[in-house]
Structure 1
Protein backbone atom coordinates (compact mmCIF):
# COMPACT_ATOMS: atom_id res chain seq x y z
CA UNK A 1 0.00 0.00 0.00
CA UNK A 2 1.19 3.56 -0.66
CA UNK A 3 2.97 5.37 2.16
CA UNK A 4 2.11 8.76 3.63
CA UNK A 5 3.17 10.86 6.61
CA UNK A 6 0.14 11.81 8.65
CA UNK A 7 -1.11 12.95 12.04
CA UNK A 8 -3.47 10.71 13.94
CA UNK A 9 -5.14 13.38 16.11
CA UNK A 10 -4.76 17.08 16.80
CA UNK A 11 -1.71 17.87 18.87
CA UNK A 12 2.07 17.98 18.74
CA UNK A 13 4.78 15.99 16.96
CA UNK A 14 3.88 12.89 18.96
CA UNK A 15 0.71 12.58 16.84
CA UNK A 16 2.68 12.05 13.61
CA UNK A 17 3.39 8.72 11.96
CA UNK A 18 4.43 7.15 8.67
CA UNK A 19 1.39 5.14 7.61
CA UNK A 20 0.13 3.03 4.74
CA UNK A 21 -3.12 4.14 3.13
CA UNK A 22 -5.25 3.08 0.18
CA UNK A 23 -4.38 4.90 -3.00
CA UNK A 24 -6.74 7.90 -3.32
CA UNK A 25 -9.29 8.02 -6.13
CA UNK A 26 -9.82 11.25 -8.06
CA UNK A 27 -13.40 12.47 -8.13
CA UNK A 28 -14.89 14.84 -10.72
CA UNK A 29 -12.53 17.69 -11.57
CA UNK A 30 -9.66 16.03 -9.73
CA UNK A 31 -6.20 14.72 -10.65
CA UNK A 32 -4.42 11.82 -8.98
CA UNK A 33 -0.71 12.58 -8.92
CA UNK A 34 2.27 10.39 -8.15
CA UNK A 35 4.14 12.79 -5.90
CA UNK A 36 7.76 13.55 -6.69
CA UNK A 37 8.22 16.40 -4.20
CA UNK A 38 6.24 18.10 -1.43
CA UNK A 39 6.91 21.51 0.09
CA UNK A 40 7.03 21.93 3.87
CA UNK A 41 5.38 25.02 5.39
CA UNK A 42 4.56 26.38 8.86
CA UNK A 43 0.86 25.98 8.08
CA UNK A 44 1.40 22.20 8.05
CA UNK A 45 2.21 21.95 11.75
CA UNK A 46 -0.40 24.58 12.57
CA UNK A 47 -3.08 22.41 10.93
CA UNK A 48 -1.81 19.42 12.90
CA UNK A 49 -2.34 21.57 16.01
CA UNK A 50 -5.97 22.26 15.09
CA UNK A 51 -5.88 25.29 12.79
CA UNK A 52 -8.79 25.45 10.39
CA UNK A 53 -8.46 27.12 7.01
CA UNK A 54 -11.09 29.72 6.06
CA UNK A 55 -14.29 27.97 5.05
CA UNK A 56 -13.41 24.62 6.63
CA UNK A 57 -16.21 22.95 8.53
CA UNK A 58 -16.57 19.59 10.21
CA UNK A 59 -13.88 17.31 11.58
CA UNK A 60 -11.00 15.67 9.77
CA UNK A 61 -10.80 11.98 9.15
CA UNK A 62 -7.74 10.50 10.82
CA UNK A 63 -5.06 9.66 9.95
CA UNK A 64 -4.84 12.96 8.06
CA UNK A 65 -1.93 13.37 5.65
CA UNK A 66 0.26 16.44 6.22
CA UNK A 67 1.33 18.88 3.52
CA UNK A 68 -0.24 21.50 1.28
CA UNK A 69 1.80 21.65 -1.93
CA UNK A 70 3.19 19.05 -4.31
CA UNK A 71 4.71 18.44 -7.70
CA UNK A 72 4.39 15.15 -9.54
CA UNK A 73 3.04 13.17 -12.48
CA UNK A 74 -0.64 12.65 -13.29
CA UNK A 75 -1.56 8.96 -13.08
CA UNK A 76 -5.36 9.21 -13.24
CA UNK A 77 -7.95 11.89 -13.98
CA UNK A 78 -11.48 12.25 -12.66
CA UNK A 79 -14.66 12.85 -14.61
CA UNK A 80 -14.86 16.17 -16.42
CA UNK A 81 -11.15 16.98 -16.28
CA UNK A 82 -9.90 18.87 -19.32
CA UNK A 83 -6.45 20.22 -20.05
CA UNK A 84 -4.63 17.45 -18.17
CA UNK A 85 -3.78 13.88 -19.15
CA UNK A 86 -2.02 10.88 -17.65
CA UNK A 87 1.73 11.44 -17.81
CA UNK A 88 1.57 15.25 -17.45
CA UNK A 89 4.04 16.81 -15.02
CA UNK A 90 2.11 19.16 -12.74
CA UNK A 91 2.27 21.07 -9.48
CA UNK A 92 -0.35 22.57 -7.20
CA UNK A 93 -2.24 22.51 -3.91
CA UNK A 94 -2.78 19.03 -2.47
CA UNK A 95 -6.36 18.35 -1.40
CA UNK A 96 -5.51 15.07 0.35
CA UNK A 97 -2.16 16.07 1.89
CA UNK A 98 1.19 16.24 0.17
CA UNK A 99 3.58 14.17 2.28
CA UNK A 100 2.62 11.04 0.41
CA UNK A 101 3.35 8.83 -2.57
CA UNK A 102 0.02 9.87 -4.10
CA UNK A 103 -2.04 13.05 -3.75
CA UNK A 104 -5.25 14.43 -5.22
CA UNK A 105 -5.28 17.91 -6.76
CA UNK A 106 -8.10 20.02 -8.13
CA UNK A 107 -7.73 20.71 -11.84
CA UNK A 108 -8.40 24.38 -10.99
CA UNK A 109 -5.56 24.51 -8.46
CA UNK A 110 -2.94 22.76 -10.56
CA UNK A 111 -0.69 23.85 -13.41
CA UNK A 112 1.60 22.17 -15.90
CA UNK A 113 5.20 22.15 -14.73
CA UNK A 114 7.58 23.77 -17.21
CA UNK A 115 10.28 21.37 -18.38
CA UNK A 116 12.95 23.79 -17.14
CA UNK A 117 11.51 23.72 -13.60
CA UNK A 118 12.53 20.84 -11.32
CA UNK A 119 9.95 18.92 -9.30
CA UNK A 120 11.73 20.07 -6.14
CA UNK A 121 11.48 23.76 -7.01
CA UNK A 122 7.93 23.43 -8.34
CA UNK A 123 6.78 21.94 -5.01
CA UNK A 124 7.75 25.15 -3.20
CA UNK A 125 5.52 27.47 -5.23
CA UNK A 126 1.80 26.88 -4.48
CA UNK A 127 1.88 28.20 -0.88
CA UNK A 128 4.69 30.66 -0.12
CA UNK A 129 5.48 31.98 -3.59
CA UNK A 130 1.83 32.22 -4.61
CA UNK A 131 0.96 34.06 -1.39
CA UNK A 132 3.83 36.47 -2.03
CA UNK A 133 2.70 37.01 -5.63
CA UNK A 134 -0.92 37.63 -4.65
CA UNK A 135 0.13 40.22 -2.09
CA UNK A 136 2.50 42.15 -4.34
CA UNK A 137 -0.09 42.23 -7.12
CA UNK A 138 -2.79 43.34 -4.67
CA UNK A 139 -0.71 46.34 -3.59
CA UNK A 140 -0.35 47.37 -7.24
CA UNK A 141 2.50 49.82 -6.60
CA UNK A 142 4.07 51.82 -9.44
CA UNK A 143 7.53 50.92 -10.67
CA UNK A 144 10.22 52.52 -8.54
CA UNK A 145 8.06 52.72 -5.39
CA UNK A 146 9.31 51.42 -2.05
CA UNK A 147 7.71 48.31 -0.57
CA UNK A 148 8.47 47.25 2.99
CA UNK A 149 8.21 43.52 3.69
CA UNK A 150 7.98 42.77 7.42
CA UNK A 151 9.14 39.22 8.00
CA UNK A 152 11.33 39.21 4.91
CA UNK A 153 13.44 36.29 6.15
CA UNK A 154 10.65 33.71 5.95
CA UNK A 155 9.44 31.69 2.97
CA UNK A 156 6.78 34.17 1.86
CA UNK A 157 9.03 37.14 2.61
CA UNK A 158 11.97 35.85 0.57
CA UNK A 159 9.61 35.29 -2.37
CA UNK A 160 7.92 38.68 -1.91
CA UNK A 161 11.12 40.73 -2.11
CA UNK A 162 12.14 38.88 -5.28
CA UNK A 163 8.75 39.23 -6.94
CA UNK A 164 8.61 42.92 -6.00
CA UNK A 165 12.03 43.43 -7.55
CA UNK A 166 10.83 41.70 -10.73
CA UNK A 167 7.94 44.21 -10.80
CA UNK A 168 10.40 47.10 -10.61
CA UNK A 169 9.92 47.96 -6.94
CA UNK A 170 12.52 48.92 -4.36
CA UNK A 171 12.23 46.70 -1.30
CA UNK A 172 13.12 47.09 2.35
CA UNK A 173 13.13 43.78 4.20
CA UNK A 174 12.59 43.69 7.95
CA UNK A 175 14.08 40.53 9.49
CA UNK A 176 16.36 39.39 12.28
CA UNK A 177 20.02 40.32 12.16
CA UNK A 178 20.80 36.63 11.59
CA UNK A 179 18.95 36.82 8.25
CA UNK A 180 20.63 39.99 7.00
CA UNK A 181 22.72 38.21 4.37
CA UNK A 182 19.71 36.22 3.19
CA UNK A 183 17.54 39.32 2.72
CA UNK A 184 20.30 41.26 0.97
CA UNK A 185 21.07 38.33 -1.32
CA UNK A 186 17.67 38.79 -2.90
CA UNK A 187 18.04 42.51 -3.52
CA UNK A 188 16.33 44.06 -0.50
CA UNK A 189 17.70 46.65 1.91
CA UNK A 190 17.83 44.88 5.26
CA UNK A 191 16.44 46.48 8.41
CA UNK A 192 16.90 44.63 11.68
CA UNK A 193 13.74 43.70 13.52
CA UNK A 194 13.33 44.46 17.21
CA UNK A 195 12.88 47.66 19.23
CA UNK A 196 13.20 50.78 17.09
CA UNK A 197 12.67 48.97 13.80
CA UNK A 198 10.18 51.52 12.42
CA UNK A 199 12.70 54.33 12.82
CA UNK A 200 15.29 52.25 11.05
CA UNK A 201 12.84 51.73 8.18
CA UNK A 202 12.29 55.48 7.90
CA UNK A 203 16.04 55.98 7.70
CA UNK A 204 16.31 53.31 5.00
CA UNK A 205 13.41 54.82 3.02
CA UNK A 206 13.85 58.61 3.31
CA UNK A 207 11.45 59.22 0.40
CA UNK A 208 8.66 57.38 2.21
CA UNK A 209 6.99 53.98 2.13
CA UNK A 210 4.49 53.39 -0.67
CA UNK A 211 3.29 49.99 0.53
CA UNK A 212 3.79 47.48 3.32
CA UNK A 213 3.39 43.70 3.31
CA UNK A 214 3.17 42.29 6.85
CA UNK A 215 4.04 38.64 7.45
CA UNK A 216 4.44 38.80 11.24
CA UNK A 217 1.22 40.12 12.79
CA UNK A 218 0.85 40.45 16.55
CA UNK A 219 2.22 43.61 18.15
CA UNK A 220 4.33 44.31 15.07
CA UNK A 221 1.40 44.95 12.73
CA UNK A 222 0.05 48.14 14.41
CA UNK A 223 3.60 49.50 14.47
CA UNK A 224 3.98 48.68 10.79
CA UNK A 225 0.76 50.53 9.93
CA UNK A 226 2.30 53.80 11.11
CA UNK A 227 4.77 53.66 8.23
CA UNK A 228 2.11 53.86 5.49
CA UNK A 229 0.28 57.10 4.78
CA UNK A 230 -2.19 55.41 2.43
CA UNK A 231 -3.62 52.55 4.44
CA UNK A 232 -5.10 50.95 1.32
CA UNK A 233 -1.48 49.99 0.62
CA UNK A 234 -1.19 48.07 3.91
CA UNK A 235 -1.73 44.31 3.70
CA UNK A 236 -1.09 41.37 6.00
CA UNK A 237 -0.92 37.61 5.71
CA UNK A 238 -0.53 37.20 9.47
CA UNK A 239 -2.98 39.47 11.34
CA UNK A 240 -6.72 38.67 11.57
CA UNK A 241 -9.04 40.37 9.05
CA UNK A 242 -10.70 42.47 11.74
CA UNK A 243 -7.33 43.82 12.92
CA UNK A 244 -6.36 44.68 9.36
CA UNK A 245 -9.68 46.48 8.82
CA UNK A 246 -9.33 48.39 12.10
CA UNK A 247 -6.01 49.79 10.91
CA UNK A 248 -7.36 50.65 7.47
CA UNK A 249 -5.58 47.80 5.70
CA UNK A 250 -6.61 44.39 4.42
CA UNK A 251 -5.71 40.72 4.45
CA UNK A 252 -3.94 39.35 1.42
CA UNK A 253 -6.61 38.22 -1.03
CA UNK A 254 -5.53 34.74 -2.12
CA UNK A 255 -6.55 34.13 -5.73
CA UNK A 256 -5.70 30.39 -5.68
CA UNK A 257 -5.73 30.01 -9.44
CA UNK A 258 -3.72 28.10 -11.99
CA UNK A 259 -2.83 31.43 -13.59
CA UNK A 260 -0.94 32.47 -10.45
CA UNK A 261 0.88 29.13 -10.37
CA UNK A 262 1.93 29.61 -13.98
CA UNK A 263 3.09 33.16 -13.24
CA UNK A 264 5.36 32.18 -10.35
CA UNK A 265 6.72 29.23 -12.32
CA UNK A 266 7.60 31.59 -15.16
CA UNK A 267 9.45 33.85 -12.71
CA UNK A 268 11.56 30.88 -11.59
CA UNK A 269 12.32 29.84 -15.15
CA UNK A 270 13.28 33.41 -16.08
CA UNK A 271 15.65 33.65 -13.12
CA UNK A 272 13.66 36.36 -11.33
CA UNK A 273 12.62 34.07 -8.47
CA UNK A 274 14.88 31.64 -6.62
CA UNK A 275 12.80 29.16 -4.57
CA UNK A 276 15.85 28.91 -2.29
CA UNK A 277 15.57 25.24 -1.39
CA UNK A 278 18.17 24.70 1.30
CA UNK A 279 17.41 21.15 2.41
CA UNK A 280 15.61 18.05 1.20
CA UNK A 281 14.45 14.91 3.02
CA UNK A 282 13.06 11.55 1.87
CA UNK A 283 9.45 10.72 2.77
CA UNK A 284 10.65 8.36 5.51
CA UNK A 285 12.20 11.39 7.27
CA UNK A 286 9.26 13.72 6.81
CA UNK A 287 9.05 14.25 10.55
CA UNK A 288 12.58 15.66 10.58
CA UNK A 289 11.68 17.98 7.73
CA UNK A 290 8.67 19.33 9.59
CA UNK A 291 10.67 19.74 12.82
CA UNK A 292 13.22 21.82 10.92
CA UNK A 293 10.44 24.24 9.94
CA UNK A 294 8.48 24.07 13.20
CA UNK A 295 11.55 24.79 15.32
CA UNK A 296 12.29 27.92 13.29
CA UNK A 297 15.67 26.69 12.04
CA UNK A 298 14.88 26.80 8.31
CA UNK A 299 16.72 29.50 6.33
CA UNK A 300 14.99 28.67 3.08
CA UNK A 301 12.51 26.20 1.72
CA UNK A 302 12.47 22.60 2.96
CA UNK A 303 11.25 19.93 0.55
CA UNK A 304 10.36 16.26 0.92
CA UNK A 305 11.45 14.29 -2.12
CA UNK A 306 9.52 11.11 -2.95
CA UNK A 307 11.27 8.44 -4.96
CA UNK A 308 9.85 7.80 -8.43
Structure 2
Protein backbone atom coordinates (compact mmCIF):
# COMPACT_ATOMS: atom_id res chain seq x y z
CA UNK A 1 0.00 0.00 0.00
CA UNK A 2 1.14 3.59 -0.56
CA UNK A 3 3.02 5.30 2.27
CA UNK A 4 2.16 8.61 3.94
CA UNK A 5 3.60 10.56 6.87
CA UNK A 6 0.81 11.57 9.25
CA UNK A 7 -0.03 12.92 12.67
CA UNK A 8 -2.52 10.76 14.51
CA UNK A 9 -3.64 13.40 17.04
CA UNK A 10 -2.88 17.02 17.85
CA UNK A 11 0.32 17.54 19.78
CA UNK A 12 4.08 17.26 19.32
CA UNK A 13 6.45 15.02 17.35
CA UNK A 14 5.28 12.00 19.33
CA UNK A 15 2.05 12.05 17.26
CA UNK A 16 3.86 11.46 13.96
CA UNK A 17 4.03 8.18 12.06
CA UNK A 18 4.81 6.75 8.63
CA UNK A 19 1.78 4.62 7.69
CA UNK A 20 0.23 2.63 4.88
CA UNK A 21 -2.98 4.11 3.51
CA UNK A 22 -5.33 3.43 0.63
CA UNK A 23 -4.49 5.25 -2.57
CA UNK A 24 -6.79 8.32 -2.59
CA UNK A 25 -9.18 9.07 -5.45
CA UNK A 26 -9.69 12.49 -7.04
CA UNK A 27 -13.12 14.08 -6.87
CA UNK A 28 -14.67 16.60 -9.27
CA UNK A 29 -12.15 19.25 -10.26
CA UNK A 30 -9.24 17.31 -8.79
CA UNK A 31 -6.26 15.29 -10.00
CA UNK A 32 -4.41 12.45 -8.32
CA UNK A 33 -0.65 12.93 -8.41
CA UNK A 34 2.19 10.52 -7.82
CA UNK A 35 4.26 12.77 -5.58
CA UNK A 36 7.88 13.33 -6.52
CA UNK A 37 8.63 16.09 -3.98
CA UNK A 38 6.91 17.86 -1.09
CA UNK A 39 7.97 21.13 0.52
CA UNK A 40 8.36 21.38 4.30
CA UNK A 41 6.99 24.53 5.96
CA UNK A 42 6.38 25.88 9.48
CA UNK A 43 2.63 25.65 8.87
CA UNK A 44 3.03 21.86 8.74
CA UNK A 45 4.04 21.46 12.37
CA UNK A 46 1.67 24.25 13.41
CA UNK A 47 -1.22 22.23 11.96
CA UNK A 48 -0.04 19.20 13.91
CA UNK A 49 -0.27 21.38 17.04
CA UNK A 50 -3.87 22.31 16.21
CA UNK A 51 -3.60 25.43 14.06
CA UNK A 52 -6.37 25.99 11.52
CA UNK A 53 -6.49 28.69 8.89
CA UNK A 54 -9.24 31.23 9.69
CA UNK A 55 -12.51 29.74 8.50
CA UNK A 56 -10.84 26.46 7.57
CA UNK A 57 -12.29 23.06 8.49
CA UNK A 58 -10.88 20.77 11.14
CA UNK A 59 -8.55 18.08 9.77
CA UNK A 60 -9.76 14.49 9.80
CA UNK A 61 -7.29 12.38 11.78
CA UNK A 62 -4.95 10.79 11.02
CA UNK A 63 -3.94 13.72 8.81
CA UNK A 64 -1.17 13.72 6.21
CA UNK A 65 1.47 16.41 6.60
CA UNK A 66 2.35 18.85 3.85
CA UNK A 67 0.88 21.82 2.02
CA UNK A 68 2.75 21.81 -1.30
CA UNK A 69 3.69 19.10 -3.75
CA UNK A 70 5.03 18.40 -7.21
CA UNK A 71 4.52 15.21 -9.15
CA UNK A 72 2.95 13.39 -12.09
CA UNK A 73 -0.80 13.13 -12.76
CA UNK A 74 -1.95 9.51 -12.59
CA UNK A 75 -5.73 10.04 -12.55
CA UNK A 76 -8.14 12.90 -13.24
CA UNK A 77 -11.45 13.48 -11.51
CA UNK A 78 -14.83 14.23 -13.11
CA UNK A 79 -15.03 17.47 -15.05
CA UNK A 80 -11.28 18.08 -15.16
CA UNK A 81 -9.99 19.80 -18.28
CA UNK A 82 -6.52 21.05 -19.08
CA UNK A 83 -4.79 18.18 -17.28
CA UNK A 84 -4.10 14.63 -18.42
CA UNK A 85 -2.42 11.52 -17.08
CA UNK A 86 1.33 11.94 -17.39
CA UNK A 87 1.35 15.72 -16.92
CA UNK A 88 4.01 17.07 -14.56
CA UNK A 89 2.37 19.47 -12.11
CA UNK A 90 2.74 21.28 -8.79
CA UNK A 91 0.32 22.87 -6.36
CA UNK A 92 -1.47 22.79 -3.01
CA UNK A 93 -2.89 19.38 -2.03
CA UNK A 94 -6.35 18.77 -0.62
CA UNK A 95 -5.20 16.75 2.38
CA UNK A 96 -1.43 16.48 2.60
CA UNK A 97 1.71 16.01 0.52
CA UNK A 98 4.16 13.91 2.55
CA UNK A 99 2.93 10.85 0.72
CA UNK A 100 3.40 8.70 -2.36
CA UNK A 101 0.07 9.99 -3.72
CA UNK A 102 -1.77 13.27 -3.18
CA UNK A 103 -4.96 14.82 -4.49
CA UNK A 104 -4.64 18.35 -5.87
CA UNK A 105 -7.50 20.68 -6.83
CA UNK A 106 -6.94 21.99 -10.35
CA UNK A 107 -7.79 25.53 -9.19
CA UNK A 108 -4.44 25.66 -7.36
CA UNK A 109 -2.43 23.34 -9.60
CA UNK A 110 -0.11 24.40 -12.41
CA UNK A 111 1.84 22.60 -15.10
CA UNK A 112 5.51 22.29 -14.19
CA UNK A 113 7.83 23.81 -16.80
CA UNK A 114 10.31 21.28 -18.17
CA UNK A 115 13.19 23.50 -17.02
CA UNK A 116 11.96 23.38 -13.40
CA UNK A 117 12.88 20.37 -11.26
CA UNK A 118 10.26 18.62 -9.14
CA UNK A 119 12.31 19.57 -6.07
CA UNK A 120 12.25 23.28 -6.87
CA UNK A 121 8.62 23.25 -8.02
CA UNK A 122 7.54 21.67 -4.72
CA UNK A 123 8.57 24.72 -2.67
CA UNK A 124 6.76 27.36 -4.73
CA UNK A 125 3.07 27.02 -3.73
CA UNK A 126 3.51 28.21 -0.12
CA UNK A 127 6.51 30.49 0.45
CA UNK A 128 7.09 31.89 -3.04
CA UNK A 129 3.39 32.31 -3.79
CA UNK A 130 2.81 34.03 -0.42
CA UNK A 131 5.67 36.44 -1.15
CA UNK A 132 4.29 37.14 -4.62
CA UNK A 133 0.76 37.74 -3.31
CA UNK A 134 2.06 40.08 -0.61
CA UNK A 135 4.09 42.21 -2.98
CA UNK A 136 1.18 42.52 -5.40
CA UNK A 137 -1.05 43.48 -2.48
CA UNK A 138 1.32 46.28 -1.46
CA UNK A 139 1.42 47.61 -5.02
CA UNK A 140 4.74 49.41 -4.72
CA UNK A 141 6.27 51.28 -7.63
CA UNK A 142 9.84 50.68 -8.81
CA UNK A 143 12.27 52.62 -6.66
CA UNK A 144 10.19 52.46 -3.49
CA UNK A 145 11.57 50.84 -0.34
CA UNK A 146 10.21 47.65 1.23
CA UNK A 147 11.04 46.44 4.74
CA UNK A 148 10.82 42.67 5.26
CA UNK A 149 10.93 41.27 8.80
CA UNK A 150 11.87 37.61 9.10
CA UNK A 151 13.86 38.05 5.92
CA UNK A 152 15.89 34.88 6.45
CA UNK A 153 12.88 32.54 6.32
CA UNK A 154 11.29 30.93 3.29
CA UNK A 155 8.76 33.68 2.53
CA UNK A 156 11.26 36.40 3.40
CA UNK A 157 13.93 35.04 1.07
CA UNK A 158 11.40 34.93 -1.77
CA UNK A 159 10.12 38.43 -0.94
CA UNK A 160 13.61 39.94 -1.10
CA UNK A 161 14.28 38.34 -4.47
CA UNK A 162 10.93 39.41 -5.89
CA UNK A 163 11.47 42.94 -4.58
CA UNK A 164 14.70 43.07 -6.56
CA UNK A 165 12.96 41.65 -9.65
CA UNK A 166 10.24 44.30 -9.37
CA UNK A 167 12.75 47.15 -9.09
CA UNK A 168 12.25 47.86 -5.38
CA UNK A 169 14.81 48.72 -2.73
CA UNK A 170 14.66 46.16 0.07
CA UNK A 171 15.68 46.20 3.70
CA UNK A 172 15.75 42.75 5.33
CA UNK A 173 15.50 42.17 9.07
CA UNK A 174 17.16 38.93 10.16
CA UNK A 175 19.62 37.58 12.70
CA UNK A 176 23.22 38.75 12.56
CA UNK A 177 24.23 35.30 11.33
CA UNK A 178 22.16 35.79 8.16
CA UNK A 179 23.70 39.15 7.24
CA UNK A 180 25.75 37.89 4.30
CA UNK A 181 22.83 35.80 3.04
CA UNK A 182 20.37 38.72 3.13
CA UNK A 183 22.87 41.00 1.40
CA UNK A 184 23.47 38.36 -1.29
CA UNK A 185 19.78 38.76 -2.19
CA UNK A 186 20.27 42.44 -2.93
CA UNK A 187 18.87 43.78 0.35
CA UNK A 188 20.26 45.97 3.11
CA UNK A 189 20.55 43.86 6.26
CA UNK A 190 19.28 45.11 9.63
CA UNK A 191 19.79 42.91 12.72
CA UNK A 192 16.65 41.77 14.51
CA UNK A 193 15.96 42.46 18.17
CA UNK A 194 15.24 45.43 20.46
CA UNK A 195 15.90 48.85 18.93
CA UNK A 196 14.80 47.66 15.49
CA UNK A 197 13.07 50.88 14.43
CA UNK A 198 16.15 53.00 15.12
CA UNK A 199 18.40 50.65 13.16
CA UNK A 200 16.01 50.65 10.19
CA UNK A 201 15.88 54.46 10.18
CA UNK A 202 19.69 54.54 10.10
CA UNK A 203 19.82 51.99 7.28
CA UNK A 204 17.06 53.69 5.23
CA UNK A 205 17.29 57.42 5.97
CA UNK A 206 14.86 58.26 3.15
CA UNK A 207 12.17 56.21 4.86
CA UNK A 208 10.22 53.00 4.37
CA UNK A 209 7.28 52.84 1.95
CA UNK A 210 5.88 49.46 3.00
CA UNK A 211 6.38 46.66 5.51
CA UNK A 212 6.02 42.94 4.78
CA UNK A 213 6.08 41.36 8.25
CA UNK A 214 6.80 37.67 8.72
CA UNK A 215 7.46 37.64 12.45
CA UNK A 216 4.61 39.38 14.27
CA UNK A 217 4.67 40.58 17.86
CA UNK A 218 7.26 43.15 18.86
CA UNK A 219 8.93 43.18 15.43
CA UNK A 220 5.62 44.03 13.78
CA UNK A 221 4.88 46.71 16.38
CA UNK A 222 8.29 48.31 15.81
CA UNK A 223 8.04 48.15 12.03
CA UNK A 224 4.62 49.83 12.09
CA UNK A 225 6.11 52.96 13.65
CA UNK A 226 8.16 53.47 10.47
CA UNK A 227 5.10 53.88 8.24
CA UNK A 228 2.98 56.99 7.77
CA UNK A 229 0.35 54.88 5.98
CA UNK A 230 -0.88 51.71 7.72
CA UNK A 231 -2.41 50.47 4.46
CA UNK A 232 1.14 49.59 3.44
CA UNK A 233 1.56 47.26 6.42
CA UNK A 234 0.93 43.55 5.87
CA UNK A 235 1.78 40.41 7.79
CA UNK A 236 1.94 36.72 7.18
CA UNK A 237 2.38 35.97 10.88
CA UNK A 238 0.14 38.00 13.23
CA UNK A 239 -3.40 38.83 12.11
CA UNK A 240 -4.53 40.13 15.50
CA UNK A 241 -1.72 42.65 15.94
CA UNK A 242 -1.78 43.90 12.35
CA UNK A 243 -5.53 44.51 12.53
CA UNK A 244 -5.06 46.59 15.69
CA UNK A 245 -2.34 48.59 13.94
CA UNK A 246 -4.54 49.30 10.92
CA UNK A 247 -2.77 46.97 8.50
CA UNK A 248 -3.86 43.69 6.94
CA UNK A 249 -2.96 40.04 6.64
CA UNK A 250 -1.47 38.85 3.36
CA UNK A 251 -4.37 38.27 0.97
CA UNK A 252 -3.61 34.92 -0.65
CA UNK A 253 -4.83 34.57 -4.21
CA UNK A 254 -4.41 30.77 -4.25
CA UNK A 255 -4.71 30.47 -8.01
CA UNK A 256 -2.95 28.49 -10.71
CA UNK A 257 -2.12 31.79 -12.41
CA UNK A 258 0.08 32.82 -9.47
CA UNK A 259 1.84 29.44 -9.55
CA UNK A 260 2.48 29.87 -13.27
CA UNK A 261 4.01 33.29 -12.60
CA UNK A 262 6.33 32.22 -9.79
CA UNK A 263 7.47 29.27 -11.90
CA UNK A 264 8.25 31.69 -14.73
CA UNK A 265 10.27 33.84 -12.34
CA UNK A 266 12.32 30.80 -11.37
CA UNK A 267 12.97 29.72 -14.93
CA UNK A 268 14.00 33.23 -16.02
CA UNK A 269 16.49 33.47 -13.15
CA UNK A 270 14.68 36.11 -11.06
CA UNK A 271 13.85 33.73 -8.20
CA UNK A 272 15.98 31.00 -6.64
CA UNK A 273 13.92 28.53 -4.55
CA UNK A 274 17.02 27.92 -2.35
CA UNK A 275 16.42 24.25 -1.68
CA UNK A 276 19.26 23.36 0.66
CA UNK A 277 18.26 19.99 2.17
CA UNK A 278 16.36 16.97 0.89
CA UNK A 279 15.16 13.88 2.72
CA UNK A 280 13.44 10.66 1.56
CA UNK A 281 9.87 10.03 2.70
CA UNK A 282 10.95 7.54 5.35
CA UNK A 283 12.95 10.35 6.99
CA UNK A 284 10.16 12.91 6.86
CA UNK A 285 10.34 13.33 10.63
CA UNK A 286 13.96 14.50 10.37
CA UNK A 287 12.99 17.02 7.69
CA UNK A 288 10.21 18.38 9.86
CA UNK A 289 12.49 18.60 12.93
CA UNK A 290 15.03 20.61 10.94
CA UNK A 291 12.39 23.23 10.10
CA UNK A 292 10.61 23.07 13.47
CA UNK A 293 13.84 23.54 15.43
CA UNK A 294 14.69 26.63 13.39
CA UNK A 295 17.94 25.22 12.02
CA UNK A 296 16.94 25.18 8.35
CA UNK A 297 18.53 27.73 6.03
CA UNK A 298 16.74 27.84 2.72
CA UNK A 299 14.04 25.34 1.87
CA UNK A 300 13.75 21.72 2.95
CA UNK A 301 12.14 19.14 0.67
CA UNK A 302 10.95 15.55 1.02
CA UNK A 303 11.72 13.60 -2.15
CA UNK A 304 9.56 10.60 -3.01
CA UNK A 305 11.00 7.87 -5.19
CA UNK A 306 9.35 7.29 -8.57
Q: Say which SS state the counterpart of residue 171 (structure 1) adopts.
A: strand
| Residue 259 (structure 1) aligned to one of 249, 257, 260 | 257
Name the structure 2 match of 1:137: 136
| Structure 2 Cα separation of the partners of residues 124 and 37 of structure 1 | 9
- Greater displacement, 176-185 / 252-261: 176-185
Aligned-pair distance for 1:60?
Answer: 2.7
Given the two structures, how large is their TM-score scaled by the length of structure 2? 0.99
Partners in 2 of 1:212 and 1:52 — Cα distance? 25
The secondary structure found in structure 2 opposite 1:219 is: helix
List gaps (5 residues or longer) in structure 2. Answer: none
Matched, 1:78 2:71: no
Instruction: Supply the distance in 2 between the matched residues of 1:244 and 1:173 (Cα, whole angstroms).
Output: 19
Q: Which residue of structure 2 aligns with residue 100 of structure 1?
A: 99
Aligned-pair CA distance for 1:54:
2.1
Matched, 1:12 2:12: yes
- Classify the secondary structure of the residue corresponding to 2:19: strand
**Counterpart in the other structure of 1:231:** 230
Per-residue deviation, residues 236-276 of structure 1 (Å, max 9, x unmatched): 11112x43222121111000000110111001001110000
Partner secondary structure for residue 159 of structure 2? helix
Residues matched between the structures, number: 306
Residue in 2 aligned with 1:276?
274
- Extract unaligned runs of 5+ from structure 1: none
Q: Distance in 2 between matches of 1:132 and 1:286?
A: 25
Alignment partners' CA distance in 2, 1:42 and 1:274: 19
**Which residue pairs with 1:183 in the alignment?**
182
Task: Give SS of 1:94's match.
Answer: coil
TM-score, with length taken from structure 1? 0.98
- CA distance in 2 between partners of 1:183 and 1:15 (Å): 35
| 1:204 CA drift (Å) | 1.0
Deviation string for 1:75-95 (max 9, x for gaps)?
A: 000000011110000000011
- Secondary structure of the residue aligned to 2:72 is strand
Tell me the secondary structure at the aligned position of residue 37 of structure 2. strand
Q: CA deviation at 1:223?
A: 1.1
In 2, Cα distance between the equivalents of 1:148 and 1:175? 11
After TM superposition, list the pairs within 5 Å mapping 1:91-240 onto structure 2. Answer: 91-240=90-239
Give the CA deviation at 1:38.
0.1
Quote the residue 1:305 is aligned against: 303
